Amino acid sequence: MSTMLQQIDDAILGIRKPMLDRLVAEMPADPEPWWLQLWLDLELQCSQRNLQGARSAFASFIALPPSKRPYDLHYRMVTGWTQFLAESTEVDEALDLMKDLDVDTMTDVGYQARALRTLALCATQQGRYDDAQTHGEHAVALLGALPYPAAFGNALTELATIYSRKGLLADAVRMQFRAYETFTTLDNPIALAIAMLNLGVLYGETGNREKARTYFEQVRTIDTGADAERFATYAALNIGLLHLEDNDATQAIHELLVAERLSTDKSKWSMATGARRGLSAAHRVLGNIEQARLWLQRAEDALAMASNEPQRITHIIEEARLLMCEGDHQKAIDILEPIADAARQRADVSALLRSLAELHVAYAATQASSRAYQCLLERTQLETSVTNTSAQQQLALFTVEREREEERRTAQRERDLLHSVMPGTVAERILSGERRIADVHTDVAILFADLVGFTTISENMEPKEVLDFIERIFTQFDTIIEHHGLVRIKTIGDAYMAVANLPDMVSQPAHRAAHCAMDMMKAITDGTYGVRVRIGMHIGTVVAGVIGATRPMYDIWGDAVNIAARMEQHSEPGRIHISQAFAEELQGFGVTERGTIEVKGKGMMTTYWLERL
């Protein structure tokens, strides 16, 4: 496989449009393989949601003689085109083309997952939820092991929708929260908007319309670029339907008209159906039967273009309601009974409850009291079961939310704790799963500071006073080292240790440490602490790492650390003692040779005083 082909595969399967745009711009005039441009024409049209352009690109592929259609091109073209067809509710055409692919035996796992997602979407739109679940779970399992988080998040969202349609609300919530958390780690506003829309739908299904409305409103604030109109349509449609459930028909009409106006092209006919049907219901509630009939007819026109079984059922139920408003109860019965029968066979509780409610009203109006009673009895028994189930689902939703919130709080506490005891970049490495951290760093400036006279002063203090005293000094030291780009390694009693150029590289580490030492000395001298500080510094190579599993600590080791400690031990109160290696880094600074002293473990060393900057 060519390098460019691999990169394009990663861009498409990973839903990385900026990367895809860059690769298209860099496409050579004679690419390898030869069919790259043909395939990319289709993918670009699909990504721009241009149904006509994508159809034309696929037609160019079909026009090729069979000998010019290698399998590598064939499955890429078919999976891309059928996915877009399914998203555009062209389900029958998508499934017809999918017959040419043996999805179960596809060796390219990324495209196999893409094909499975398409099959799941088609099955969902046809009301075949068991098939949809099988395909959706398979796709999620495959994508969970691939480096395509955006596609993984999309698959989780689609599976959540399937679970929701089947009444498996707790599973749906778990999938949707996983998707949401996946998307929050990515720079992918479109995927995040989809996840928020689906969370809104889930909350609406549990009766929590206020929280559902909050999610839908948040979608309006997300910058989805070229897809902004599509998401504005989704938001307006769902908010309008919530107003309708609240019996606020006037506000519902306002939102639904926005959705209807934005859903005029063919790829949005499914949304157009929902918006027009909602407008029909709103006008029916207001008693505007003529307007209601007009909007329902327009919804039927859109429905003919969108193959979607759940939408078809909802449309027929709304048609029956309107017929009853017009006084034609028998015709309402005639169209509702097949819906109820099919719902019983498929165990579609939602459709059965809605159809029985309307059938009860229709039979009662025609004086068919026995049949009306049967519908009422069946509905009551079913509602009792659903009420119990609904209560369990509400509890499951609450439990899931509480568990997720506790997980987030625990994770944040762990993050905050690690950041408080070690450098941020090291803490994040541990949080990401790294177990053994041991790095070699060169040119590390090491600073040791010791509070001279602290022991004597602390003898006359209460324990809390001792803690407050040393905390004030070390907090001031923390501020100083942060200002100069150093990192605190640890404190031991009244000793303080910091470094420059670790774990992240910085410019002129010795100069930074020198400025830091002078400021620390000035802070103690100008303060009213009653102690003095002596400082020692050295620069060299160290090993830095994390030790301890239950209580991890970040520390540094090496000869350079020992020398820096000896510089502090041989220093004097109110002075900064540095090694020759450190002094050589400070050209232009006020450095005075101290002379030769004996340093434990190193023998005789020439050392210096740092006098001024």
The CATH number given to whatever domain includes residue 533 is 3.30.70.1230
The separation between the first and the last C-alpha atoms of the chain, rounded to the nearest angstrom, is 61
Per-residue confidence (pLDDT) for residue 421, from 0 to 100: 76
The number of domains in the chain is: 1
Residue/partner pairs of 90-94 with CB below 8 Å, 24 or more apart:
90/307, 91/122, 91/125, 91/126, 91/307, 91/308, 92/307, 94/118, 94/122
pLDDT value, residue 336: 92
Q: Is position 536 within any domain?
A: yes
Q: What is the pLDDT of residue 73?
A: 84
**What does each C-alpha distance from 87 to 124, 196, 396, 435, 478 come to in angstroms?**
11, 18, 30, 43, 55
Residue 570 in any domain: the answer is yes
Q: How far from chain centre, in Å, is Cα 442?
A: 38
Which segments in the chain show pLDDT lower than 70? 1-2, 266-267, 305-307, 385-399, 402, 435, 588, 613
CA dist., res. 415 & res. 597, Å (int): 45
Residue 538 belongs to some domain of the structure: yes
Whether the CB-CB separation of 152 and 140 falls below 8 Å is answered with: yes
Please state, as a whole number, how many other Cβ atoms lie within 10 Å of the Cβ of residue 33: 14
In a domain, 599, yes or no: yes
Please give, one letter per residue, the 3-state secondary structure of 197-265: HHHHHHHHHCCCHHHHHHHHHHHCCCCCHHHHHHHHHHHHHHHHHHHHHCCCHHHHHHHHHHHHHHCCC
Predicted structure pTM score: 0.59
Q: What is the pLDDT of residue 306?
A: 60
CA distance 376 to 399: 34
Distance CA(499)–CA(439), nearest Å, equals: 15
Percent of the chain with pLDDT over 70: 95
Nearest to 340 by CA among 367, 321, 359: 359
| pLDDT one-digit tens code per residue, 68-100 | 888 888 888 999 899 999 888 788 899 999 988
Using the Cα atoms of residue 522, residue 526, residue 528 and residue 532 in order, give the sign of their dihedral.
Answer: positive
Residue 80, CB half-sphere, CA atoms under 13 Å: how many?
A: 30
Q: Which of 269, 261, 259 is nearest to 234 (CA)?
A: 259
Predicted confidence at residue 240, as pLDDT, reads 95
- CA-closest candidate to residue 183, choices 207, 213, 218: 218
> Do 306 and 273 meet the contact criterion of CB atoms below 8 Å apart?
yes
Sorted by sequence, the CB contacts under 8 Å of residue 542 that are 6+ apart come out as 440, 441, 444, 446, 499, 502, 556, 557, 558, 560, 561
Nearest to 302 by CA among 366, 248, 237: 237
β pairing state of 532-547 and 553-557: antiparallel
CA-to-CA distance for 134 and 119, rounded, in angstroms? 10
Asked whether residue 398 is assigned to any structural domain, the reply reads: no
Burial of 475 (0-12, 13-18, 19+ CB in 10 A): exposed
Domain annotation covers residue 140: no
| Side-chain-facing half-sphere of 352: CA atoms under 13 Å | 20
595 DSSP β-pair partners: 607
198 CB burial (10 A radius; 0-12, 13-18, 19+): buried
At residue 30, the pLDDT reads 75
Within a domain: 591? yes
DSSP H stretches of helix in 432-527: 454-458, 463-484, 509-526
Give the phi and the psi of residue 444 in degrees, each rounded to 5.
Answer: -95, 125
Token couple for 166: 């089947």
Q: Which domain holds residue 457?
A: 436-612
pLDDT of 482 reads 92
pLDDT, position 266: 61
Tell me the per-residue pLDDT of 380-436, one tens digit each, with 9 for 90 and over: 888 776 656 665 566 566 667 767 777 888 888 888 888 877 888 888 887 777 767
Q: Does 213 fall in a domain?
A: no
- pLDDT in the model for residue 37: 83
